């Protein structure tokens, strides 16, 4: 008999939401699933969010100025939003460059996308008892 796999329903639902919404495709969903696998049963959205926020999964880094400039040109041509984010983190403007600004902006976008994706989860997605019953039923039917 197979062991119970905690969070199977949650991971499946996150993957479904991700697959159905291309707007979330900048998020590294595989890393999120891996992080969920490192934890025992996750019982509510607050627990899941705490796990995700405590990692660097949603953080983006740009190494090449060309890529950073391209990202900024497409997502914040006036740099207004990027400078606002930098100001929130108390960056000194003379220490900023395109890689830092693009990384801040992309990370903020990932955070917003994760927040929106997570809002689509329901309480049932965190129901391990229901999940345990489904897995037992699957094993019996196999």
pLDDT in tens, 25-54: 889 999 999 999 888 778 888 889 998 988
Distance CA(101)–CA(104), nearest Å, equals 5
- The residue-averaged pLDDT of 63-88 equals 96
Tell me, what's the pLDDT at 3?
A: 58
Closest CA to 40 of 128, 113, 138, 142: 128
Q: For residue 1, what pLDDT band results from cuts at 50, 70 and 90?
A: very low
The more confident residue out of 41 and 67 is: 67
DSSP string, 38-83: TSS---SHHHHHHHHHTSSTT------HHHHHHHHHHH-TT-HHHH
What are the pLDDT digits (tens) for 17-32?
Answer: 999 999 998 899 999 9
- Whole-number Cα distances in Å, 16 to 13, 56, 77, 112: 5, 23, 33, 18
């Amino acid at each position: 008999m197979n062991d119970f796999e905690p969070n199977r329903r949650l991971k499946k639902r996150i993957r479904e939401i991700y697959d159905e919404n291309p707007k979330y495709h900048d998020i590294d969903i595989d890393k999120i699933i891996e992080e969920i696998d490192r934890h025992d049963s996750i019982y509510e959205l607050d627990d899941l969010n705490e796990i995700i926020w405590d990692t660097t999964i949603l953080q983006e880094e740009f190494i090449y100025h060309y890529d950073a400039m391209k990202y900024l040109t497409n997502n914040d041509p006036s740099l207004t939003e990027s400078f606002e984010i930098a100001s929130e983190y108390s960056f000194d403007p003379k220490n900023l460059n395109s890689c830092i600004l693009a990384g801040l902006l992309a990370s903020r976008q990932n955070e917003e996308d994760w927040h929106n994706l997570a809002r689509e989860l329901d309480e049932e997605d965190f129901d391990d008892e229901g999940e345990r019953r489904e897995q037992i039923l699957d094993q019996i039917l196999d």
